Amino acid sequence: MLATDVHAQLAAILTPSSLLVTAEETRPYECDGLTLFRAQPAAVVLPETEAQVAAILKICHAARIPVVARGAGTSLSGGATPDPAGIVLSLAKFKRIVAVDALSRTAVVQPGVRNLAISEAAAQHGLYYAPDPSSQIACTIGGNVAENAGGVHCLKYGLTVHNVRRVRGVLVTGEIVEFGGDALDSAGYDLLALVNGSEGLLAVITEVTVKLTPKPQLAQVALAAFDDVEKSGAAVGAIIGAGIIPAGLEMMDQPATRAVEEFVHAGYPLDAAAVLLVESDGTPEEVAAEMAEIRRVLADAGATEIRVAKDEAQRLLFWSGRKNAFPAVGRLSPDYYCMDGTIPRKALPRVLRAIAKWSEEFGLPCANVFHAGDGNLHPLILFDANKPGESERTIAFGDRILALCIEVGGTVTGEHGVGMEKLDSMCVQFAPAELTRFHGIKEAFDAYRLLNPGKGVPTLHRCAEMGRMHVHHNALPHPDLPRF
C-alpha cells in the first residue's frame, strides 16, 4: 500500500482513473505472459505524457519506491512482474505514431504502439518494420526494445537492436535522455545498443525511432518435411553453409505441427517428424534463383517433401501456422512453459535429442518451435500446474535445457530476456567478474536499484547461495550488494 504522502503526490499529477490502488484494480497487472511469477503492486499508474513519467519517477526516486515499467504484458520471462512494495508504470496510453518519414525510411513512435501497427502505418509508402515477433499483433515497440525482440525474419533483417535509430527515455531521477540519433553512428560508447535489451533496468522508454525497410518485390516460402528431427536440424546448417541467408528459416517438430494444423489448418503434413519453413525475398529473378538452390539443398539433406507456396495467400497461410504455434500448443494442456535459449546451429541435432530424452524422463510432453536459422530455441513444455509436482518438474526440465545451451556454446536467451525466469541460469553462464560489471552499469544509471529490481542480473549473493559461484575464504566478493 502506498504511503499517504506518495499517494497524494501521484494523485496531484494523474487523473483518478490513471492511479489504481485497490486489489481489484491492480490484479490484472500481477504477471506478464509468464504466469509462473505473480505479485500485486502497491499501485499502478498510467501516465499520458513524458512530463508525467518524469514527475512519477522523481516522486518514486525521492521515496525510494521500486518502479516496474510495463508495455502490453506479453513478456515471457517475468520481466514485468511487479514488486509488491512498488508501482507498475504502464505505458499503455503512449500509443501515438508521431511521424513516418518515407524519405529517411524511419518512423517515430511512442512505446505503446503495437509492433504490427508500425508496418500498417508505413505500408502506404511501400515500407515496413522488419522485426516481427509472433506476438506482433499485440506486443509493443517499447517492450520490443526492452527485450531486444526478434521474430521469424530476424535471420536476414536483424533483431530490434539492428532496426532502432534512437531511443528517448527517462532515468529514475526524472532526467530525460536520448540514446542514438538520426546518424548511423556517433562518437562515444554505444549506449543505444546498451539500452536495447536492458529490460527496463536503466530507463523508462518514452519514444523510439525505428528503421523502416522497403517491401520486397516478391517473397516466396518453401515448406520442407522430414522423417527425422535430426535431419531437419542438419538441413538448417546445410542451407547456411551453402551461402544462403533466407529471409526466414523456421522449424517445428511433429507435436507442434499437429497442434498448429488442428488450430490454423495451414496445410502442414501431419506425418512429418519435423517441418522447415524457408523464405526467400527480393526481385523475382533473385527469388527464383535462390529458391532453386534452397530446394536442391533441402533435397540433398533428406527432405521427404518440398512444397513452394503457389501464391501470396498460401505463403501467408504457411506463416500463420508458425506464428500461431504458441496459442495452438496452448490448446493441448492447461499450462505450458515457453523456453528461450540460443545455440550454435551445428548443435541442433544434439540438443533436440537431449530434449526428447528429458521429455520422457520428466514425463512432460514438449513441442519444439524455433528460429532455426539463428539457433534460437523455443521448447514448449506442457504441464498442469494443478497437479502436485508438475510445476517443479517443468522448471527443472527448463533449467536443464538452458544449461545445455550454455554447454554447447550458446546462451540462455535469444529474444525473451532474462527477467525473473533465467536469473539462476545467468549464474551458470557468467563469472563473478562479469556479473560485477553488469551491476556496475546498473548502479551508474540507478544507484538505488529502483527500476525493475530483481530482474535481468542475479546478485552475487544469489549465485553463491546456489553454489554456482566460487567464494573466497567464506566471503563474498561484494557483501554490500543486495541479497535478492
Question: What pLDDT band is residue 348 in, cutting at 50, 70 and 90?
Answer: confident
- pLDDT at 95 exceeding the cut of 60: yes
How does pLDDT run across 54-76, given as a tens digit for each residue?
A: 999 999 999 999 999 999 999 99
How does DSSP classify residue 363? T
How does pLDDT run across 384-397, given as a tens digit for each residue?
A: 999 999 999 999 99
Query: Rounded distance, CA 75 to CA 85, Å?
Result: 21
How does pLDDT run across 231-253, given as a tens digit for each residue?
A: 998 999 999 999 999 999 999 99
C-alpha angle 144/132/293, rounded to 5°? 140
Q: What is the pLDDT of residue 468?
A: 54
Question: What percentage of the chain carries pLDDT values higher than 70?
Answer: 96
CB atoms near residue 432 (< 10 Å): 19
To the nearest 10°, the Cα dihedral for 193, 195, 198, 203? 180
β-strand 176-180 against 218-226: which pairing, if any? unpaired
- pLDDT at 204 exceeding the cut of 70: yes
Q: What is the pLDDT of residue 477?
A: 42
Cβ-based neighbours of 226, under 8 Å, separated by 6 or more: 232, 235, 272, 273, 274, 275, 276, 301, 302, 303, 304
Buried/exposed code over 153-173 (b: 16+ C-beta within 10 A; e: otherwise)? bbbbbbbbbebbbbbbbbbbe
User: Which range among 114-118, 136-140, 185-189, 198-202 shows the weakest confidence by mean pLDDT?
Assistant: 185-189
Query: Rounded distance, CA 209 to CA 72, Å?
Result: 19
What radius of gyration, in Å, describes the C-alpha atoms of the chain? 23
- pLDDT at 19 exceeding the cut of 50: yes
How does pLDDT run across 396-438, given as a tens digit for each residue?
A: 999 999 999 999 999 999 899 999 999 999 999 999 999 999 9
Question: What pLDDT band is residue 183 in, cutting at 50, 70 and 90?
Answer: confident
User: Which range among 1-10, 174-183, 463-472 shows the weakest confidence by mean pLDDT?
Assistant: 463-472
Q: What is the pLDDT of residue 465?
A: 85
- pLDDT at 480 exceeding the cut of 70: no
Query: Rounded distance, CA 201 to CA 77, Å?
Result: 14
How does pLDDT run across 351-385, given as a tens digit for each residue?
A: 989 999 999 999 999 999 989 998 999 999 999 99
Average pLDDT over every residue of 456-463: 93
Average pLDDT over every residue of 173-186: 92
Identify the structural domains of the chain with CATH numbers, from first to last.
4-90 (3.30.43.10), 97-214 (3.30.465.10), 218-326 (3.30.70.2190), 333-424 (3.30.70.2740), 428-484 (no CATH)
Determine contact, residues 226/352, Cβ cutoff 8 Å: no
- pLDDT at 474 exceeding the cut of 50: no
Question: What pLDDT band is residue 261 in, cutting at 50, 70 and 90?
Answer: very high
Predicted structure pTM score:
0.91
Average pLDDT over every residue of 148-172: 96
Question: What pLDDT band is residue 35 in, cutting at 50, 70 and 90?
Answer: confident
Q: What is the pLDDT of residue 159?
A: 96
How does pLDDT run across 290-322, given as a tens digit for each residue?
A: 999 999 999 999 999 999 999 999 999 999 999
- pLDDT at 481 exceeding the cut of 60: no
Residue 281 parent element (H or E): strand 274-282
- pLDDT at 140 exceeding the cut of 60: yes
Determine contact, residues 65/87, Cβ cutoff 8 Å: yes
Determine contact, residues 122/129, Cβ cutoff 8 Å: yes
Task: Report the chain's mean pLDDT, rounded to a whole number.
Answer: 93
